[in-house]
Structure 1
């Protein structure tokens, strides 16, 4: 990423299905574009196939964040690592195969960083080891540990894979969240637990305050009058002040708040992340099940909005209304619904029936939210505009 600021932030939906993929929706995954870098959130089965059809470049993926270890969110991780890190199949007890040696790893290449709950490290280590997958570049796994996690739980007796760097962190909660698990000069990323049927995590990306807009006409006459170099403008653009030779003090425009994006995993109640998520520019929230009488021909006659809500919650999931209520609670600016039941086709851009159903889903959320709602579709691209 640029060392100064982000010129663009955008989302590419790589998979928007729940449980089972369909002909129009792949398993869960989305790509977050931060200037030229890509961060993946979840990596369901066949994610790399979707990448090949998208605007995501495999070599640009720098970090992967797993929300939970259900298969529809993680089964695509091992094959994606093999592709991203120049993997190849190995052989058993073949000392002549240099790919089996740790000194064959190109450790001069920045490692791919993977974050996830307890078990993520063991899953990757086991998958790579027992498929004899050798990697040409390193990776690191950082685990987000819940208070209930015990030191031995979820770990494998297998030794680290040759490509696994030993610097992976086990990150404990601090006051119920994982604050700033990553931070650089441009963005920070925090996480918090959200309620699902298994340990699950939501992530909050914060763009750090960005330089304010400046009118050169306010500054250039002073620079010319005093013979100050035009390079002063770059410091002023960053919000700094400078004293000219005649004593004039020029102050750059104040910084503006950066963008905030909240990416939730599966959940029936994301309340633990609410404080971190407040005032989000974009909230990405699941809406697995919906009651759509008169719109969805598969609607059961005995169902009601309440019965569908209770059934969704019993399985750890949400309805569009639940997503809308949470978006309203945290005062989100936009709501993106995803993780839809296989019964809801994802070709609503070309199929009129699918369009009506997704419009119905969107309307249910909008009635509670009161703001703009978008339904995710595979390979959809969405820009997150800078704050004014």
Structure 2
């Protein structure tokens, strides 16, 4: 699992940063790509990146402000123009279905693949044998949501010494034990997976928030996350302005990470008043004074999501 930031600016793009879009690349886990928000110009950012629209199968929209959705019709249209025929599912707040269908219809855009649009107001949105995605409402001027992506625990590795003690050699039975099945040896003895599997590998938790002020939804989604992506539109000296415009400061993001036992924090959605990476250093310092494991998200930055030891 890797995070790839396609845009980290708030409101409008600048020469240094595009507006919001984040990709979660899961090539090893499910050979797919999930996109979180799709601000204007996202498809141009993808062209400059190692990401492939052919791998995209899910899009999660946090809220209906233009800097988070204006790139969606063009991206969906271009995906079809590239000859991609695999289906895509879009999750978003009420209104996302009307927006997508209306813009594609009026522009006579052809989408030659199945597209499912699911409007939601929070809760568990998706679950399979490997992942669960949960959403909760945040506190913003528009109806805004965050997403919590939970990777389910994986079986532990096989204990080769225990297997040797049972006289079992590499072969098909190894695979059955790895899948949690029990196997019978030639002498009639049964070996259960629990006898030869090491501690399960803890699944990773990634939380990606939409625009928000500090609120209960942040606490719910961020709890014990391995990685939290939190907006930091302003520094703490502009906390009154942040509150007025329903945004957060870098310090507030760091406090949320520390309070909820997060392993790593990425700040994003920076105001245009902070023109480049140099001007963002005070935000980083402010956050790191509260929560050491904080980083600034950068456009075209690729960040692995590590498992806990």
TM-score by length of 2: 0.92
Q: Any conservation in 1 of the 2:222–2:257 contact (CA below 8 Å)?
A: no
Picking from 260, 264, 269, the partner of 1:334 is 264
Residue 305 of structure 2 corresponds to 384
Residue 10 of structure 1 corresponds to 2
Deviation, structure 1 residue 87: 8.0
Three-state SS of the structure 2 residue aligned to 1:206 is: strand
Picking from 59, 76, 88, the partner of 1:112 is 88
In the alignment of these two chains, the number of paired residues is: 302
Are residue 265 (structure 1) and residue 210 (structure 2) matched?
yes
Q: What value does the CA root-mean-square deviation take over the aligned residues?
A: 2.0
Q: Any conservation in 2 of the 1:200–1:265 contact (CA below 8 Å)?
A: yes
Q: Distance in 2 between matches of 1:239 and 1:360?
A: 50
Three-state SS of the structure 2 residue aligned to 1:134 is: coil
Are residue 361 (structure 1) and residue 283 (structure 2) matched?
yes
Are residue 38 (structure 1) and residue 33 (structure 2) matched?
yes
Q: Distance in 2 between matches of 1:110 and 1:135?
A: 11
Q: Distance in 2 between matches of 1:235 and 1:206?
A: 25
Q: Distance in 2 between matches of 1:76 and 1:311?
A: 27
Deviation, structure 1 residue 110: 3.9
Three-state SS of the structure 2 residue aligned to 1:85 is: helix
Three-state SS of the structure 2 residue aligned to 1:219 is: helix
Deviation, structure 1 residue 368: 2.0
**Between Structure 1 and Structure 2, which shows a larger proportion of helix residues?**
2
Q: Distance in 2 between matches of 1:37 and 1:137?
A: 16
Are residue 69 (structure 1) and residue 68 (structure 2) matched?
no
Three-state SS of the structure 2 residue aligned to 1:196 is: coil
Q: Distance in 1 between matches of 2:259 and 2:181?
A: 36
Deviation, structure 1 residue 195: 0.6
Residue 27 of structure 1 corresponds to 19
Distance 1:259 1:120, change over 3 A: same
> Where in structure 2 are the equivalents of 1:96-107 lying within 5 Å?
none
Residue 174 of structure 2 corresponds to 233
> Where in structure 2 are the equivalents of 1:114-153 lying within 5 Å?
114-145=90-121
> Where in structure 2 are the equivalents of 1:314-333 lying within 5 Å?
314-333=244-263
Give the unaligned 5+ runs of structure 2. none
Residue 149 of structure 1 corresponds to none
Residue 293 of structure 2 corresponds to 372
Q: Any conservation in 1 of the 2:147–2:221 contact (CA below 8 Å)?
A: no
TM-score by length of 1: 0.74
Three-state SS of the structure 2 residue aligned to 1:133 is: coil
Deviation, structure 1 residue 311: 0.7
Are residue 202 (structure 1) and residue 146 (structure 2) matched?
yes
> Which structure has the bigger radius of gyration?
1
- For each residue in 1:147-172, what CA deviation from the matched residue of structure 2 results, as whole angstroms up to 9, or x when unmatched? xxxxxxxxxxxxxxxxxxxxxxxxxx
Q: Distance in 1 between matches of 2:268 and 2:216?
A: 18
Q: Any conservation in 2 of the 1:87–1:136 contact (CA below 8 Å)?
A: no
Q: Any conservation in 1 of the 2:25–2:34 contact (CA below 8 Å)?
A: yes
Q: Distance in 1 between matches of 2:26 and 2:55?
A: 10
**Range that drifts further, 246-255 or 67-76:** 246-255
Q: Distance in 2 between matches of 1:259 and 1:240?
A: 24
Deviation, structure 1 residue 366: 1.8
Three-state SS of the structure 2 residue aligned to 1:205 is: strand
> Where in structure 2 are the equivalents of 1:200-349 lying within 5 Å?
200-224=144-168, 230-244=171-185, 245=187, 247=189, 249-250=191-192, 251=195, 252-290=197-235, 305=237, 308-346=238-276, 348=277
